[in-house]
């Protein structure tokens, strides 16, 4: 995620009141005083829970005026209240519960005794037995990343929601809401399936009730609510279920590091140390090397991990065990509630190190089949591998349990391969040397490979809008090791540079009323946009049905004279990929590939259907990638 700054500076963890608001707050208010005397419950998080979880412990965060002055009790078979705890704010009370295996679904009554007795009905649900839930993610998948607000508007009625801080839809503003929603994505499931997609990754769908630029979803204001401009919580549950019925998985984008300053936890923090504090606003230095630099200054390390991402993104202090537990429970809650298949973890490198290990263990202990990969926007393969499961020993108390990461190193490499001339280590050789370092990972097949995303310049622009290079990049994406991810619109040649980032987050043509072009329709995909779609679709659907490409082994050969050749192979077959990065045709002597070509006499280039009849010597055109299914 990339930052953009808009809102005024915070004082401590809560927004400063204006002088008018301060004066109003100082006046006598009998109604408010009466409300303060009674422990009225405004919310309890988690909003509900389940019986039969592997971890029997549950911690409830109860919020209400002066609730901290109350005592709590409950009576429910199989549920024990182990204790209550006041927090720094008088408006919170923590309840520690144990839910035994014998507990049954139902509603337990929480009783609070202060100046007045108050009851709250808390629901314990039965766990879902619905088949096909929480499928995980694997190298057999093809992930499609999209921004819900910019993809398609399926329900204009939720464009403007009364009471929310942002104004209405303004499609001519890159920082405003444009009106896309969950229904818009669902209306185009058939488009995604035609493309060959097997998993959908929307940027965060949780509530982002910030005054401006909240469309991206990374400044959440309520951990337990879908943003109503996308739909309701129930809509999201149906969205996941309907996606599963269509053979599509759902990747849920989450943020562990920060939250929007308009959220109730920031406006009324349970304790000041729930958020990292500085005398004046201090931004992170964004230098991930400080995380594990053996020579680092403590100042640099603290600023990296505890500095704020932006003025409207309060940095959460996961070293506080109550805050850490709150986050851990929330992300267990979303899996059980919706049946989502995987988590993509935003800004993973910035969070407290012990918390990252505890969070990963708790979620995977409950759902070992859950897919997880993290954003690791770092420099160097060793640094990237450090944040994934790897071969390294524990370093300074940290040993990552994150199954996979977003593979920025290979993204850097493919960009260089297509924009620089080949050299000993430069140009297309960068791809070879990047994959050579895979020995550092426990399993590099769990890494997510990509050409572009919502934070970087679009691939088609980076390569100079060269269609031949475009096809080379897509051929690499869909044949290399790992889990391929495509950014929405790349398949129809959407372009622009991320300066500012709103330019790479434009509306998908055809997703909104009045669009002159409709790329969701085959009739609307004319010219090169249509050719690009067909190329991606052909490769993706071939990959989906050929285990050699998505599950086979990889053997690569050192690039020679600007030509990079590698093989994906298994008992199910062998596919040869040959990439010529030169402008001109190259004649390639195939003798050096004998260990993989042995037994094969011909092949078919799958994107064109062209027969390859001579495996002793081939002439490959310039700026071309061949994906050849070998035949005996």
Secondary structure (H, E, C), 560-615: ECCEEEEEEEECCEEEEEEEECCCCCEEEEHHHHHHHHCCCCEEEECCCCEEECCC
Residues of the chain with pLDDT under 50: 3-32, 34-36
- Give the pLDDT confidence score for residue 39 in this predicted structure: 61
What is the spatial distance between Cα 329 and Cα 367, in angstroms, rounded to a whole number?
Answer: 13
Helix 408-417 to helix 429-436 angle (10° resolution) is 160
Give the E-state strand segments of 249-381 in sequence order: 249-255, 258-260, 313-315, 342-346, 371-374
- Give the pLDDT confidence score for residue 7 in this predicted structure: 34
What is the spatial distance between Cα 185 and Cα 248, in angstroms, rounded to a whole number?
Answer: 12
Contact 116, 36 (CB under 8 A): no
The vertex-249 CA angle with 243 and 251, nearest 5°, equals 115
Locate 116 and state its tokens: 């007045």
Cα–Cα nearest to 218, from 108, 250, 210, 453: 210
- Give the pLDDT confidence score for residue 132 in this predicted structure: 86
Cα–Cα nearest to 46, from 270, 222, 262, 234: 222
In the set 181, 315, 352, 375, the catalytic residue is: 375
Locate 104 and state its tokens: 């049954």
pLDDT per residue over 367-397, tens digit each?
A: 999 999 999 999 999 999 999 999 999 988 9
Specify the 3-state DSSP secondary structure of 275.
strand
- H/E stretch holding 11: none
What is the spatial distance between Cα 293 and Cα 297, in angstroms, rounded to a whole number?
Answer: 9
pTM summary value: 0.94
Burial 436-451 (b: 16+ CB within 10 A, else e): eebeebbebbbbbbbb
Cα–Cα nearest to 154, from 173, 179, 178: 179
Q: Give the chain's largest Cα–Cα span.
A: 92
Instruction: State what percent of residues in the chain have pLDDT above 90.
Output: 91
- Give the pLDDT confidence score for residue 19 in this predicted structure: 28
**Catalytic annotation on 227?**
no
Locate 502 and state its tokens: 């709103």
**Catalytic annotation on 629?**
no
pLDDT per residue over 210-245, tens digit each?
A: 998 889 999 999 999 999 999 999 999 999 999 999
- Give the pLDDT confidence score for residue 116 in this predicted structure: 87
Q: What residue spans of 174-312 are helical by DSSP H?
A: 182-186, 189-195, 233-245, 264-267, 298-306
Going along the chain from its start, the domains and CATH numbers come out as 38-125 (2.60.40.10), 143-260+323-545 (3.20.20.80), 550-631 (2.60.40.1180)
Under 8 Å CB-to-CB from 127, ≥6 apart: which residues?
50, 51, 52, 53, 336
CA 27 to chain centre: 46
- Give the pLDDT confidence score for residue 202 in this predicted structure: 98
- Give the pLDDT confidence score for residue 8 in this predicted structure: 33
Integer distance in angstroms from the first to the last C-alpha of the chain? 47
Cα–Cα nearest to 181, from 234, 218, 236, 219: 236
Q: Which residues pair with 249 in a beta bridge?
A: 199
- Give the pLDDT confidence score for residue 396 in this predicted structure: 87
In the set 45, 209, 222, 346, the catalytic residue is: 346
What is the spatial distance between Cα 414 and Cα 472, in angstroms, rounded to a whole number?
Answer: 9
Locate 105 and state its tokens: 């679904």
DSSP 455: T
Contact 322, 269 (CB under 8 A): no
- Give the pLDDT confidence score for residue 1 in this predicted structure: 66
Locate 241 and state its tokens: 């279920």
């Amino acid at each position: 995620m990339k930052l953009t700054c808009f809102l005024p500076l915070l004082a401590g963890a809560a927004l400063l009141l204006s002088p008018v608001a301060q004066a109003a707050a100082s006046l006598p208010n009998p109604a408010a005083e009466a409300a303060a005397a009674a422990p009225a419950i405004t919310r309890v998080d988690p909003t509900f829970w389940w019986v039969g979880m592997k971890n029997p412990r549950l911690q409830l965060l109860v919020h209400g005026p002066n609730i901290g002055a109350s005592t709590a009790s409950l009576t429910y078979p199989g549920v024990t209240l182990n204790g209550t705890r006041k927090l720094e704010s008088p408006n919170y009370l923590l309840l520690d519960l144990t839910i035994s295996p014998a507990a049954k679904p139902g509603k337990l009554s929480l009783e609070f005794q202060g100046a007045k007795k108050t009851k709250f009905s808390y629901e314990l649900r039965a766990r879902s037995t619905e088949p096909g839930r929480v499928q995980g993610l694997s190298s057999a998948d093809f992930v499609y990343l999209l921004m819900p607000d910019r993809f398609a508007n399926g329900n204009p009625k939720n464009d403007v929601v009364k009471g929310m801080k942002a104004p209405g839809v303004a499609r001519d503003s890159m920082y405003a809401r444009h009106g896309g929603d969950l229904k818009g994505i669902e209306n185009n499931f058939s488009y995604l399936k035609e493309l060959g997609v097997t998993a959908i990754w929307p940027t965060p769908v949780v509530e982002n009730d910030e005054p401006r630029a909240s469309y991206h979803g990374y400044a959440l204001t309520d951990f337990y609510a879908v943003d109503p401009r996308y739909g309701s919580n129930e809509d999201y549950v149906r969205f996941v279920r309907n996606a599963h019925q269509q053979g599509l998985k759902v990747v849920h984008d989450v943020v562990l590091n920060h939250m929007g300053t308009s959220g109730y936890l920031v406006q009324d923090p349970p304790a000041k140390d729930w958020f990292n504090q500085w005398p004046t606003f201090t931004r992170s230095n964004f230098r991930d090397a400080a995380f594990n630099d053996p020579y680092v200054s403590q100042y640099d390390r603290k600023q990296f991990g505890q500095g704020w991402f932006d003025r409207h993104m309060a940095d959460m202090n996961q070293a506080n065990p109550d805050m850490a537990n709150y986050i851990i429970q929330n992300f267990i809650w979303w899996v059980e509630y919706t049946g989502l298949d995987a988590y993509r973890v935003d800004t993973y490198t910035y969070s407290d190190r012990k918390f990252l290990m505890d969070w990963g263990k708790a979620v995977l202990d409950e759902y070992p089949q859950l897919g997880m990969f993290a954003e690791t926007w770092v420099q160097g393969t060793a640094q990237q591998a450090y944040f994934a499961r790897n071969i390294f020993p524990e370093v300074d108390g940290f040993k990552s349990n994150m199954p996979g990461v977003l593979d920025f190193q290979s993204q850097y490499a493919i960009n260089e391969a297509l924009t620089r001339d080949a050299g000993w280590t430069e140009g297309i050789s960068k791809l070879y040397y990047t994959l050579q370092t895979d020995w550092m990972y426990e399993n590099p097949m769990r890494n997510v490979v990509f050409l572009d995303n919502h934070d970087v310049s679009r691939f088609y622009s980076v390569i100079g809008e060269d269609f031949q290079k475009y096809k080379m990049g897509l051929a690499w994406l869909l044949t290399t090791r790992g889990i391929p991810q495509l950014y929405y619109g790349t398949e129809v040649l959407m372009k622009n540079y991320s300066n500012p980032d709103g330019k790479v987050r434009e509306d998908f043509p055809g997703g909104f009323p009045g669009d002159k072009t409709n790329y969701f329709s085959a009739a609307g995909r004319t010219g090169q946009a249509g050719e690009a779609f067909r190329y991606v679709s052909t490769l993706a659907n071939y990959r989906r049905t050929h285990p050699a490409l998505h599950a086979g082994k990889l053997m690569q050969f050192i690039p020679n004279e600007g030509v990079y050749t590698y093989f994906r192979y298994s008992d199910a077959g062998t596919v040869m990929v040959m990439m010529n990065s030169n402008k001109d045709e190259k004649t390639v002597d195939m003798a050096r590939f004998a260990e993989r070509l042995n037994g094969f006499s011909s092949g078919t280039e799958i994107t064109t259907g062209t027969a390859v009849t001579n495996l002793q010597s081939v002439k490959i055109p310039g700026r071309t990638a061949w994906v050849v299914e070998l035949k005996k």
